Each structure stands twice: as C-alpha cells, then as structure tokens.
Chains A and B, each alone.
Chain A
Amino acid sequence: MVYLTRIEHFNAAHKLYNEGWSREQNEAVFGKCANENWHGHNYELYVTIKGIPDSETGFLFDVKKLSGIINGLVIEKLDHKNLNMDVDFMKGKMCSTENLAIAIWEQLSSSLPEGVQLHCIKLYETPRIYVEYFGE
C-alpha cells in the first residue's frame, strides 16, 4: 500500500456565525471569527490517496489527473469565493475548517477510480491551525 499526497491551495472569505443564535452568543463563542463582514484565509489543502501502484505505469494514480479532479470538484468552487455564500456544497453548514474538510472529502471520495481510495483530507486554515479527516 502506498500513500500519495497532492497539495493545492485556495483563498477564501468566511465567517463563523450560527444564524439560530443571538449576535451576543455568536460573539461569545466565535469571537472575532463572527465578524459580520467576513474575514479570510489562505487555505492549504493536502489530499492523500492510497492504493497499490499499477504494474505497468508504476503509478498509484496519475497525479495530474488527481489534480484535475481536485481542481474541478473543489478548488474552482472555493478559490476566491465566500465560503458561506458562494459554495453549493457548504450551503446550510457552519463554515469551520472541520466541516470544510468533511465536505471536501464528500466531494472527492466517490470520484476516484477503482483501486484508489481517499485516505485523508488535511486542511490548513492558517500555518498554525489545521484539521485532518479520514472519513471515519
């Protein structure tokens, strides 16, 4: 079994705000992340797949094709967007890094060819904050 990681990045605006709560409660829980007019991040996305390298190509999966899938299903929908307002697969969800990683997993997991499994979505919100999701 080999693990292969492709790194991509996107820049986006978001806010952490629960519409079911008062402004005071949102500010108490989310602090400055609840800023009404948004803030933003440079997100770094690590997509790790696993499988057995093909005997004829030596590839687990063509990384150019993997990059194309990630860009088509994830990056083009997130890059230079407002995560709360512009992204179909985040509608109705809290735009935390945790939920974004889960949503990215759901976008990608069914789009990989047979024999290639998604192993991990690792998402950096800042250089010092990241989450990992293994589909569990």
Chain B
Amino acid sequence: MSRVAVFRREHFNAAHRLFNPAWDDKKNDEVFGKCNNPNYHGHNYELEIKITGEPDPETGYVIDLKKLSDIVTENVLDKFDHKNLNLDTTYFVKLNPTAENIAVVIYEILRKKIDPALDLKVRLYETGRNFVEYPA
C-alpha cells in the first residue's frame, strides 16, 4: 500500500506575550522587542495538522478527518481559542509561548490522541509570513 498524507486546517485567535521572568526588563526588551509588551498582543493562528499513513483497506481513509477535527477542537482549540496563552492555559506557565513552543505543545497533546501507527506533523502560522513546523 502507498502512504498518503492528509491535512486538516484549523485556526484560533489568542493573546500572548514573550518574556523571560529570569531576565530584567531591559534584557527582555532587547531580546523580545515589542513582543514583550506587558499588556500582551495577539494573533490569528492558523494550524495545519498533517497525518501520514496507509489508507485503511475498508474505508479508504488514512484518518476520518471529521474525527481528527473533533480531536483538534476538543484538545487544542477549546483550550487556546480566544484565550491568553500565558494566563489562561496550563502549558505556558514556565514555557515562553513562542510559535515554536506552541507547535511542540500542540504536537504533544495530539500525539497521545492519534493512532501511533500514523505519523503526525504540526505546522503553525503565527502570521501570514511567520510559521513553524514540528517535528522538523
């Protein structure tokens, strides 16, 4: 059988702030610039989930994309959409909510919910021109 990649695109809108509490204000400003604004800023995040595997001989599906959408909605979007990533989620209490770290967190959340026989890759767009992918 041939391996096929299927994709589901989702989105969420969230506030965040990049700063390292171990650094003083000056160093945070130098490293994170305007992303360090104390009152937060925000983005429309676009999320692409890539699942790779062999189509099931009985259904023809790699994965039922409606079920994948439900998994992403319940485990990621319901926690992140219209939230403050620093304040309203449990994942970024000690972790800076950069696009890199958000993608890794989303991967770890979803990996537990998806058949281990299927490969998973997460691509996250923070803006139209800045995006990250995990695993690399």
Confirm or deny: A85 has a beta carbon within 8 angstroms of a beta carbon on chain B: yes
Interface pair B39/A39, CB less than 8 Å apart: no
Interface pair B39/A42, CB less than 8 Å apart: no
Interface pair A126/B13, CB less than 8 Å apart: yes
In the complex with contacts A14-B42, A40-B15, A32-B81 CB distance below 8 A: yes
Interface of A is mostly: strand
Number of cross-chain contacts by CB at 8 Å = 76
In the assembly, what is the distance between CA of A87 and CA of B42, in Å? Answer: 15
Confirm or deny: A38 has a beta carbon within 8 angstroms of a beta carbon on chain B: yes
Which residues does chain B contribute within 8 Å of A39, judged by CB atoms?
13-15, 42, 81-84
In the assembly, what is the distance between CA of A35 and CA of B3, in Å? Answer: 42
* A37 touches which of B41, B87, B127 (Cβ 8 Å): B87
Interface size class of A (residues with CB under 8 A): 20 to 34
Confirm or deny: B43 has a beta carbon within 8 angstroms of a beta carbon on chain A: yes
> For residues 69 through 105 of chain A, which have their beta carbon under 8 Å from a beta carbon of chain B?
79-82, 85-86
Confirm or deny: B70 has a beta carbon within 8 angstroms of a beta carbon on chain A: no
Confirm or deny: B123 has a beta carbon within 8 angstroms of a beta carbon on chain A: no
Which residues does chain B contribute within 8 Å of A82, judged by CB atoms?
15, 37, 39-41
Q: Which residues of A contact B (CB under 8 A)?
A: 9, 11-14, 32-33, 35, 37-42, 79-82, 85-86, 126-127
